[in-house]
A and B are shown apart, each in its own frame.
Chain A
Amino acid sequence: MATKRKVAKRPAAVRRHKRAARAAQSRKGGVKSGAAGRIRAMAQTPLAVCESDRKLQETLTTLRDQTQASSVRRAALQMLQAASFSTIAFEPCRGDYVAALRAVVDDPDAELRERALGILAREKDGFAQKKLLDGLQNPDKALVAPEKALQLLANDVHAEGYAIARAMVKNPPNPDAKREALRLLAADATAAPLFESVLRDKDELREIRQVAASALQALRPEKMRAHAREMLMDKSEYDDIQATSLTALTHFGGEAVAQDDALMKSVDRLSGAPSAKVKQSARRFLQKYGR
C-alpha cells in the first residue's frame, strides 16, 4: 500500500499574506488579557448581535479588522455563527454577515479564511464557489489547500466540480486531494468504473479505497458485492479492506447477499480470521444473515 505522502504546495494566498499576518500578530502581541475578556464575553452571549445594530456592526468590524488578534476575530466569527442559529432574530443581520464573510475569504489568517469559505460554501454561495474553483484551476489563486477546496465544493456539486475532481484524481497534488476528489465524484453515477479500479488497487491508501467502496456500494451495489466476494477470498488483501467490504454487505447488502452461497462460505472461513476486525465483521455478517 502506498503510504508516502507528498507535501501539498502552500496556497498562494498564504504566501502572499504571510508577511502581513506576521506584522498584524506582532502589532497585537497575541492574546492579551483584554482580548481574553472580550473572547469570553462574546462566547457567553452570542445572541447579543441580534439585539442591536451597533453590536452587530461592532462584531462584524472585529471580524474584518486585520489589526485585531486572531483569537478575537475567530471569537467574533463564532459569536456570529452561534447567533445565526436563531434564524428569525438573525435574519436582518444576514446580509451584512455574508458580506463580512466574503471580505475575509482572502484574509492573511488561514484559519479564518478557511472557516469563512466553509460557511459560505455550505450556504452554496456562488462567490465562494468561484473562488474555490479558481484556486483549483490556478494554484496561484488558491485560498485554501486543494483538498479543502474540493471538500467545500462537494457541498453543492456542479459539472464544473466534476471536471476538476476528475483531473485531480488523475494527477493529485497529494493523497488528501485525491480522497476529496473521489468523495466529490461519488455523486456522479458515471464514475462507478473509476471507483472499481481504485477499490481494487492495492497500492492505494486504505482511506482512499474506503471512499471508493462507499461510493461503489451506493452507485452500483451489485458491482460492490462482486468485488467484495473476490476481496474476501483474496488472502493477500488487507484486513481493513476486507472488514470494510464485510461491513458494507452486512448493513446494506440486501436479499442478494443472503442468497449468495459462495460469499457465505468465504465469510464463514473469515469468522475465524486472525484479524480481530475481520473476525468481528464476519461474525456480524453471519449473524445478520442467520448463518
Chain B
Amino acid sequence: MKVELQINNSANTNARYVTWAPSPCRIRVTDPSGVTTPTVAVQITSNSAPSAGAVVFRSGATGAFANSLTLQVPINGNSVPFFVAGKFGRPSVNDGDITVEARSGTTLVGSVKLMVRIRKNANSLSTAERDRFVAAFAQLNNQGTGRFADFRDMHVAISLPQAHGAAGFLPWHRAYLLDLERELQALDGSIALPYWRFDQAAPNIFTRDFFGVANATGTVQFSATNPLQFWRTDGVPGISRRPLFTTSSAPPGLRNESQTLALGNQYRNFRTMEGNPHGSAHVSFDGWIDDPATAPKDPLFFLLHCNVDRLWAKWQRQFSRFNPAVAASYDSNPSNRPGHNLPDTMWPWNGVTGGTRPPTAPGGTLASSPVATAPGPQPQVQSCLDFQGTLNAASRMGFDYDDVPFG
C-alpha cells in the first residue's frame, strides 16, 4: 500500500512549508495493494533532529494539536483532510529538516519532508541560514538588473504617500515585505525574511559576512565571500550606510518593544509607532536608509521593516486586532487618501496609475505562493490584517514570527 501526503493541499514540492498557523493538508491512498477493507487506519507522525523544526497535527480546522494523528483513509483514492502546524518554539533551520511519515500498522506507507519556515531574529540566524538569505537577496538584486529593481522603484519619493504618514503604513509594508519574501522564496524555498530587532544589540548583523561594516566614508564593506559586495541600485554599486550608534548595542532613543506595545489598544494610537520606533530606527544611520525615498536601496531596510511588522503582529495578538470589522483594529476615515481605507486596493499591486496614485505601477501584481493564496494578487488593506488566518483560514498569508504564536 502507498499513500500520498499533500501539504497545503498541493502535490507541489514547493508547497512543503508550514508556519505556526495550521496548513490544510490531505492524504489519499495511491496504491491499495494488500488492503482488503474499504478504509485503512493510517497514523501520521513526524521525525526530526532535536535542533531541527517540529510539527503537530489535528484532523479538523479546530481542536487541539497532537504529535500524531490517526485517520481512516478510504482505499478508493478519495482524500482525507488534516492540518499540520509548526510546533511553536521549534522552527526549522534547514529546508526539509522534518519528515512527516504515514504508517499503516508499523509499515511506512508514505512520507514527505517539510520545513517550518518562520521569520527569525537576524541576529540569531545560523551561518547556513544567513548565507542562504544573503545569496538569495544578492541574486534577487542581480547587480541591479534583477527583480529587486521593482522593489526599489515601489518605494520612491512620488509613491511615498501610498505607504507612509497614514493608516495604511502598516498594511502596505506588510504586503511589500511579503511580495519580496515570496520572490526570495522562488529562488530558495527555505528563505524567510529575518528581522532586525532594533531595540536590542544585534552585533551579528553588522558584520562583513552579513550586512556589512561601514568604513570611515560610510560605504559598507563586505567580506570577499559575501555576494552582497556586488549589490547595485540605481546604477551605482555598493551601499551607503554609517551607523550613528555602536553596533554592539542598540540605537539609543528608540521605543523598546514593551513601550511600543503599550501605545494603546486602538490602531490609531498604535500606528504612531511610524515615528518612533520606526522613523527613529531609520535615522539611527547616516546613509540611504535614513531617507524615505532612498531607504529600500539598502537591503537592511527589509529587516528593519520586518521588525516593524513583527511589532504590529504582536500588538494584534495582544489585543485581538485581526478583525477588520472591529473598529479598533484599524483607522479607516473618509478623509484618508485612497489606499489607506480598509476596502481600498493598494498601489502598485492594483496597477492603478494617475490621479491620486503614482504615474507608474512597477512590479505588477503581488507574487503568488504555493503555500497560501492570501492576500491575492491585488491586495486590499483589509486583507492584510488576519495574516495567520485566525478568523478565516483563507486569509492566512503564509508567514509567521518566531515569537508570535498562532491565534
Question: Do the two chains belong together in a single complex?
Answer: yes
- Whether the pair A251, B138 counts as a contact (CB closer than 8 A) is yes
Q: Report which of B138, B217, B280 forms a contact with A148, defined as CB distance below 8 A.
A: B217
Bound state CA distance, A280 and B223, in angstroms?
12
- Whether the pair A214, B229 counts as a contact (CB closer than 8 A) is yes
Q: Name the interface size band of chain A.
A: 35 or more
Cβ-based interface call for A109 (8 A): no
Closest-CB distance, B356 to chain A (whole angstroms): 11
* Among listed B69-77, B286-294, B357-365, interface-contacting one: B286-294
Residue of A nearest to B273 (CB): A47
Bound state CA distance, A65 and B282, in angstroms?
25
Interface string of A79-99 (1 = CB under 8 A from B): 001111111111100000000
Contact A119-B290, Cβ < 8 Å, known A83-B275, A240-B224, A244-B229: yes
Cβ-based interface call for A43 (8 A): yes
Cβ-based interface call for A210 (8 A): yes
- Give the residues in chain B near A251, CB-CB below 8 Å: 135, 138-139, 227, 230
Cβ-based interface call for A236 (8 A): no
Bound state CA distance, A286 and B286, in angstroms?
39
Contact A247-B227, Cβ < 8 Å, known A85-B274, A186-B237: yes
Q: Report which of B145, B226, B276, B290 forms a contact with A46, defined as CB distance below 8 A.
A: B276
* Interface of A: prevailing SS: helix
Interface string of B199-237 (1 = CB under 8 A from A): 000000000000000011111010111110110101111
Closest-CB distance, A159 to chain B (whole angstroms): 14
Cβ-based interface call for B54 (8 A): no
Cβ-based interface call for B1 (8 A): no
Closest-CB distance, A71 to chain B (whole angstroms): 11
Cβ-based interface call for A44 (8 A): yes
Contact A122-B230, Cβ < 8 Å, known A82-B282, A85-B282, A179-B219: no
Contact A180-B219, Cβ < 8 Å, known A81-B290, A122-B291: yes
Interface string of A59-88 (1 = CB under 8 A from B): 000000000000000000010011111111
- Give the residues in chain B near A78, CB-CB below 8 Å: 244, 253, 280, 283
Closest-CB distance, B139 to chain A (whole angstroms): 6
Bound state CA distance, A43 and B145, in angstroms?
38
- Whether the pair A211, B165 counts as a contact (CB closer than 8 A) is no
- Give the residues in chain A near B223, CB-CB below 8 Å: 277
- Whether the pair B230, A214 counts as a contact (CB closer than 8 A) is yes
Q: Report which of A47, A122, A179, A183 forms a contact with B236, defined as CB distance below 8 A.
A: A183
Counting chain B CB atoms within 10 Å of each CB, the highest count among A91, A118, A122, A145 belongs to: A122
Cβ-based interface call for B11 (8 A): no
For chain B, residues 31 to 48, give those with C-beta under 8 angstroms from any C-beta of chain A.
none
Closest-CB distance, A155 to chain B (whole angstroms): 7
- Whether the pair B283, A176 counts as a contact (CB closer than 8 A) is no
Contact A210-B224, Cβ < 8 Å, known A88-B161, A151-B217, A218-B144: yes
- Give the residues in chain B near A277, CB-CB below 8 Å: 223-225
Cβ-based interface call for A106 (8 A): no
Closest-CB distance, A288 to chain B (whole angstroms): 9
Q: Report which of A43, A155, A281 forms a contact with B252, defined as CB distance below 8 A.
A: A43
Residue of B nearest to A250 (CB): B227
Closest-CB distance, B267 to chain A (whole angstroms): 15
- Whether the pair A88, B166 counts as a contact (CB closer than 8 A) is yes
Cβ-based interface call for A127 (8 A): no
Cβ-based interface call for B314 (8 A): no
- Give the residues in chain B near A89, CB-CB below 8 Å: 165-166
Contact A184-B232, Cβ < 8 Å, known A43-B280, A151-B218, A247-B226: no
- Give the residues in chain A near B224, CB-CB below 8 Å: 210, 239-241, 243-244, 247, 277, 281
- Whether the pair B278, A186 counts as a contact (CB closer than 8 A) is no
Q: Report which of A83, A87, A183 forms a contact with B237, defined as CB distance below 8 A.
A: A183
Contact A218-B286, Cβ < 8 Å, known A43-B276, A157-B235: no
Residue of A nearest to B289 (CB): A122
Cβ-based interface call for A203 (8 A): no
- Whether the pair A123, B291 counts as a contact (CB closer than 8 A) is yes
Cβ-based interface call for A40 (8 A): yes
Cβ-based interface call for A52 (8 A): no
Contact A217-B143, Cβ < 8 Å, known A87-B161, A151-B240, A184-B236: yes
For chain A, residues 181 to 234, give those with C-beta under 8 angstroms from any C-beta of chain B.
183-184, 186-187, 207, 210-211, 214-215, 217-218
Contact A87-B226, Cβ < 8 Å, known A47-B272, A154-B236: no
- Give the residues in chain A near B238, CB-CB below 8 Å: 183, 211, 214
Residue of A nearest to B231 (CB): A214
Residue of B nearest to A207 (CB): B221
Q: Report which of B143, B221, B234, B287 forms a contact with A218, defined as CB distance below 8 A.
A: B143
Interface string of A147-168 (1 = CB under 8 A from B): 1100100110100000000000
Closest-CB distance, A138 to chain B (whole angstroms): 21
Contact A85-B279, Cβ < 8 Å, known A218-B230, A243-B224: yes
Cβ-based interface call for A26 (8 A): no
Q: Report which of A87, A119, A241 forms a contact with B165, defined as CB distance below 8 A.
A: A87
- Whether the pair A115, B286 counts as a contact (CB closer than 8 A) is yes
Name 13 extra pairs, CB < 8 A, besides A83-B279, A186-B237.
A43-B254, A43-B276, A81-B279, A81-B283, A81-B290, A85-B274, A85-B282, A87-B161, A148-B218, A151-B217, A211-B238, A248-B230, A250-B227
Q: Which B positions have Cβ atoms within 8 angstroms of A?
A: 135, 138-139, 142-145, 157, 160-161, 164-166, 215-219, 221, 223-227, 229-230, 232, 234-238, 240, 244, 252-255, 272, 274-276, 278-280, 282-283, 286-288, 290-294, 337
A-B contact pairs, 14 of them (CB 8 A): A39-B253, A44-B253, A44-B255, A81-B282, A82-B280, A82-B282, A84-B279, A86-B275, A115-B286, A147-B217, A154-B240, A214-B232, A241-B224, A247-B226
